Structures are given as C-alpha cells and as structure tokens.
C-alpha cells in the first residue's frame, strides 16, 4: 500500500473499521507522515485457529466477538468500542496473511487490547483464557487494581468455564 503523497511503502494503520465486506483504514505514512484512507475488500480467506490441544478450527469472528463481549459485559465502554476492537483484531489476523494462527496468539492480542480498553474486562478475560496458568501474574493485576480502588472482587465475575469456578480467585472471595 503506497503512500499517495510520497510513494513510501510503509504506512501504519491508525484506525480500521469494517463496512460490510470492505474495511476502511486510516493509515499514516512512515516516510512523510501523511495520513490517508484506504478502502480494501476483506479477503475472507480461511484462517484456521490451532488450539492448544492441536485441533484446528476455522476462525470465527462471532466467537471472538462473543468472548470479548462476555468479558466486557456491563462495563462502561463507549458505544461501538467493542466492535471496533473486534475489527482491529480481525484486521490484524487477515493482514498478517497467515492461514493458520495459534489460539494463544489471538488470546494475547485480545489481552493486550483489553488491557488498554478496560482493566476489569482484561481480568475477566485473562481468568478464563489463561485458566490461571500464571496465577502469579493475575494476582499482581488484581492487587494493582485493588490498590486503585477498583477491585474486580467486588463484582461477581461472570466466568463461563466451570474450571474457573473453583479457581483461586473464587476462593479468595471468602
Ligand atoms: Zn508518504
């Protein structure tokens, strides 16, 4: 995607939104700093997600969206923020061009994004996605939130997976 001003070949995507089968991207040229908009057809080539246990399954935007919505439930996010976030992750996956992507990579992208978007949603997602594999990190996060007076422990976490019910976080509530 060449810059229409200087012909530079590298541009950073600064905003991305889906319009049916098109995606509109704001880009910033890394050479001259110009900003321009592109409309690109989403090439829905199949992406397969490689799960932790080695199973492959077709990438599903709906599934991604559901997981994120669950984590963001009742959080005071601006209208459209979740869709925009889902768009950005989807765009990143398609843009990377790979036919296969590890589910852990998608999880990491979601975690990184949620961390910016909403800390409580981040903790919820982390607790399900990581399944407390790294409880130390999670505890640090919870502690740092508690210090700032927005402890997620005051909200009952809507954890969809049964493993999480007996989690150390759950026990900590007593
Ligand atoms: Zn340029």
Structure confidence by residue, pLDDT tens digits, 158-170: 444 444 444 444 4
Indicate whether 37 and 119 sit together in one domain.
Answer: no
CA of 39 to the centre of ligand 1 (A): 17
Pair of tokens at residue 6: 């200087």
Task: Give the global pTM.
Answer: 0.55
pLDDT tens string 33-60: 999 988 776 656 778 999 888 999 989 8
Longest distance between any two alpha carbons in the chain, whole Å:
62
Pair of tokens at residue 117: 């978007």
Lowest-pLDDT choice from 12-21, 93-102, 142-151: 142-151
CA of 109 to the centre of ligand 1 (A): 28
pLDDT tens string 80-111: 899 899 989 988 888 887 889 999 899 999 99
Indicate whether 21 and 74 sit together in one domain.
Answer: no
Indicate whether 127 and 56 sit together in one domain.
Answer: yes
Indicate whether 29 and 63 sit together in one domain.
Answer: no
CA of 21 to the centre of ligand 1 (A): 27
Query: Does a structural domain hold residue 174?
Result: no
Tally of domains in the chain: 2
CA of 28 to the centre of ligand 1 (A): 8
Query: Does a structural domain hold residue 173?
Result: no
User: What is the Cα 105 distance to its own chain's centre?
Assistant: 10
Residues in contact with 24: Cβ distance below 8 Å, sequence separation at least 6, in sequence order: 16, 17, 18, 37, 38, 39
Indicate whether 12 and 53 sit together in one domain.
Answer: no
User: Residue 12: which pLDDT band, with cuts at 50, 70 and 90?
Assistant: confident
Structural domain boundaries enclosing 20: 1-42
Q: How far apart are CA 123 and CA 25, in angstroms?
A: 29
Indicate whether 12 and 86 sit together in one domain.
Answer: no
CA of 37 to the centre of ligand 1 (A): 12
CA of 84 to the centre of ligand 1 (A): 26
Residues forming beta bridges with residue 23, ordered by sequence position: 18, 40
Lowest-pLDDT choice from 15-19, 77-81, 162-166: 162-166
Indicate whether 86 and 149 sit together in one domain.
Answer: yes
CA of 85 to the centre of ligand 1 (A): 27
Indicate whether 61 and 142 sit together in one domain.
Answer: yes
More confident residue, 55 or 153: 55
Indicate whether 63 and 133 sit together in one domain.
Answer: yes
CA of 67 to the centre of ligand 1 (A): 38
């Amino acid at each position: 995607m060449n810059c229409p001003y200087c012909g530079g070949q590298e541009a950073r995507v600064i905003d991305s939104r889906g319009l049916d089968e098109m995606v509109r991207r704001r880009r910033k040229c890394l050479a001259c700093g110009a900003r321009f908009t592109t409309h690109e057809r989403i090439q829905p080539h199949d992406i397969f997600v490689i799960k932790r246990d080695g199973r492959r399954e077709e990438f599903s935007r709906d599934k991604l969206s559901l997981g994120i919505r669950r984590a963001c439930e009742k959080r005071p996010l601006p209208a459209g923020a979740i869709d925009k976030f889902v768009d950005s992750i989807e765009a990143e996956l398609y843009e990377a061009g790979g036919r296969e992507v590890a589910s852990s990579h998608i999880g990491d992208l979601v975690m990184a994004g949620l961390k910016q978007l909403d800390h409580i949603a981040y903790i919820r997602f982390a607790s399900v996605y990581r399944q407390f594999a790294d409880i130390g990190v999670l505890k640090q996060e919870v502690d740092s939130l508690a210090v700032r007076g927005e402890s997620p422990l005051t909200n009952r976490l809507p954890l969809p997976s049964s493993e999480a019910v007996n989690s150390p976080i759950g026990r900590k509530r007593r």
